[in-house]
Amino acid sequence: MASIRIQRKQKGTEQLAPTVRETYPQFDDVVNFVFTTCIGDHSMKAEDRARVVEHWIKVAKACLKLRNFSSMHAIISALQSTPVHWMSMTWKEVSRTSLKTFHKLCAKATAENRNLLMKVNGG
């Protein structure tokens, strides 16, 4: 799949795995949307940002229940991005329940990635 991501903008590759190719822009759009809602408004206080982070954790959990792994991974990726991760005052305001859910989702995402790599590499 990584090679498809690299090739997706090259001429003559439009027919290579079109359904896989279409997931990348959708994934990127979700990441950018989550990232923007967490960081984009500079007038927000840590408490407000924490509520936004908690919202996205709930959405990621719902995506997992719906087996929408791509969107779940996109949300988790955005929340784990360096600028969001460094918002220490925000993360201090996130509820313990939401943090616990977030860590479980991160572990689930890591396990899913590991299983996928094992399948791809024939392990």
pLDDT of residue 29: 93
pLDDT of residue 41: 93
pLDDT of residue 42: 92
pLDDT of residue 4: 44
CA 87 to chain CA centroid, Å, is 17
Closest CA to 68 of 38, 105, 99, 120: 105
pLDDT of residue 121: 61
pLDDT of residue 60: 97
Residues 6+ apart with CB under 8 A from 109: 72, 73, 76
Sign of the CA dihedral with 19 first, then 23, 26, and 30 last: positive
pTM here is 0.77
Per-residue pLDDT of the chain (123 residues; tens, 9 = 90+): 444 454 555 565 556 666 666 667 889 999 999 999 999 999 999 999 999 999 999 999 999 999 998 899 999 999 999 999 999 999 999 999 999 999 999 998 877 666 655 665 665
